[in-house]
Structure 1
Amino acid sequence: MRQTQFDIIRHGEPVGGRRYRGGGIDDPLSEAGWRQMWAAIGNEGDWDQIISSPMQRCLAFARALAGRHALPLAADPGFVEIGMGAWEGRAHAEVAAREPEAFAAFYRDPVGHRPPGAEPLNAFSARIATAFDRQMAAYPGRRLLIVCHAGVTRALIGHVLGAKPSAWYRMRIDYAGLSRVRDDGFGPGVEFVNRRRLR
């Protein structure tokens, strides 16, 4: 049986720098973000399909890469980043300074202490698992690239490992960080997480 391989890349740095961007903030990639993405991918184009979050910090690069290598591209709304509620668009440092107790509680317990109005981690987990399983079923034995977000990458890895959402924030996922999941016919497994380049 041919293996199914998912290469997963987080988008590069968006315009506006580091801040909470969930499903409600759709900033484009900065010039630095574009450079990060091309540096991570290099000349690689040996995928059967590119799947992207529909958010522009992911989809613009996915379109450019698909065009360069004449690859099919699909946008999957299931891979939109987790909603961060009242913290959407705010810098991490600003939240830490103005709401130190809520900020600390969130990082101690990201399941039980969500920002006001944020998407619950358990609901997000179910959404990402559904999207991943749908793509697994749609492309058996194929090599896929998923262009998505830090939270989506953590949730995908967590789903494959059977890790609880409370453990996801122990994973560092950098801008343009690359991860890989491979299914050899005995179930998906994680090959690497947060690599700077594919090769």
Structure 2
Amino acid sequence: MSVTTFDLMRHGEPEGGRKFRGALDDPLSATGWAQMRAAVADVRPWDLVLSSPLRRCAEFAAELAERHELPLTVVPELREIGFGAWEGLRVREVEARYGEALTRFWRDAESYTPPGAEPIGEFDRRVATAWAQMQAIAAGRHALVVCHGGVIRLLLRQVLGLPLARIWRVDVPYAALSRVEVHPEPDGSALPVLVFHAGRVA
């Protein structure tokens, strides 16, 4: 079997700027659209597009798939982590209302879950399900995956075997691309390899 390649792309800036957005379905801002279009330019190395169902990902994915006549699959499990009571709040607002809880969350996501939020372990299992689905859908091909910062961090965690508690230490800028190749092994297993992170596609 051939190598399967995934380009993981975070969405651009949504309307409303930086905040704990999670499950909120805000669309991209004009700046966000420009960031994503600039990130891919006119290159077309992909055979298919996979996307989160949330608008800040799915609308760009649909535009790109249509422009390049590529098949598009929406993967529900690629949606961002739900932040519960923090949804819609900016960092300074969370700090004001919840004190040191935010620091605990950044330092060790396993030890603290925001009120009403999706526990990081459940999020990790959901992303693992998405990762298995994506490998089955894209086997032997080159896929663009349009998703979220939290999702990309967990995909990279699973590829590299990083500690779940430390995932927020990985920076994932708006419209950044990371490439993972999945190499088939003689014993029937697969070896995922991080080729680059937060770079540009060529």
TM bucket by the smaller chain? over 0.9
SS at structure 1 position matched to 2:175: coil
Q: What's the CA shift string for 1:53-84, capped at 9, x where partnerless?
A: 00000000001101110111011101010010
- Which amino acid in the other structure matches residue 43 of structure 1? D
Please identify runs of 4+ aligned residues in structure 1 that moved more than 6 A.
Answer: none
Question: Given residue 19 of structure 2, which amino acid in structure 1 is its aligned partner?
Answer: R
Q: State the TM-score, normalizing by the size of structure 2.
A: 0.94
Unaligned ranges ≥5, structure 2: 186-190
Pairwise CA distance, 1:139: 2.2
Q: Tell me the SS of whatever aligns to 1:145.
A: strand
**Comparing 82-91 with 37-46, which one deviates more in the overlay?**
37-46
CA distance in 1, matches of 2:52, 2:14: 14
Q: How many residues matched? A: 197
Q: Report the AA paired with residue 10 of structure 1.
A: R
Amino acid across the alignment from 1:118: A
* Residues in 2 aligned to 1:60 and 1:191: alpha-carbon distance in whole angstroms: 27
CA RMSD of aligned residues (A): 1.1
2:89 counterpart SS class: coil
Answer yes or no: is 1:183 the counterpart of 2:186. no
Amino acid at match of 1:198: V
Name whichever of 126-135 and 30-39 sits farther off: 126-135
2:196 is matched with which residue: 192, 195, 198?
192
Give the Å deviation of 1:184.
2.1
Correspondence for 2:3: 3
Report what 2:71 is aligned to: 72
Once the two structures are superposed, the pairs formed by residues 23-172 of structure 1 within 5 Å of their partners are 23=23, 25-172=24-171
Q: Tell me if the contact between 2:107 and 2:168 (Cα under 8 Å) persists in the aligned partners.
A: no
| Residue 22 of structure 1: aligned partner | 22
Amino acid at match of 1:193: H
